[in-house]
Amino acid sequence: MANRHTIILMQTAQNRSTRTFMDFDSVSQAMDGICGLYERKLKELNPALRNITYDIADLYNFIDGLADLSALVYDHSIQAYLPYDRQWIKHRIFQHLKKLAAQ
């Protein structure tokens, strides 16, 4: 999944005007991007805290709280983007964070 352009499509609330996207050069960078969104939200909600910690359940709750979240990952073999759902994103984030923790 390295070096596979990834587009994250998200809708933060029920209002369709909250639809947006982010694009990344790899699936790994996309997972970092989603974690970064959550971390920015935590800082926004807790401006006085210097260090903020969270666990995977907190991150999953954030992801599940979004009105919609999906990923489009470029597959070089078919020269097209393949769609992935919220569950796939949660699984990939878990794998990504586990790999980072092992370093």
Euclidean distance between CA atoms 73 and 96, whole angstroms: 16
Q: Tell me the pLDDT tens digit for each residue of 3-45.
A: 899 999 999 999 999 999 999 999 999 999 999 999 999 999 9
Euclidean distance between CA atoms 30 and 27, whole angstroms: 5
Whether residue 36 lies inside any domain: the answer is yes
Q: What is the CATH number of the domain that holds 92?
A: 3.30.2260.10
Domain that includes residue 11, residue range: 6-102
Q: Tell me the pLDDT tens digit for each residue of 52-82.
A: 889 999 999 999 999 999 999 999 999 999 9
Whether residue 15 lies inside any domain: the answer is yes
Which backbone phi and psi does 79 adopt, to 5 degrees? 50, 50
Tally the domains of the chain.
Answer: 1
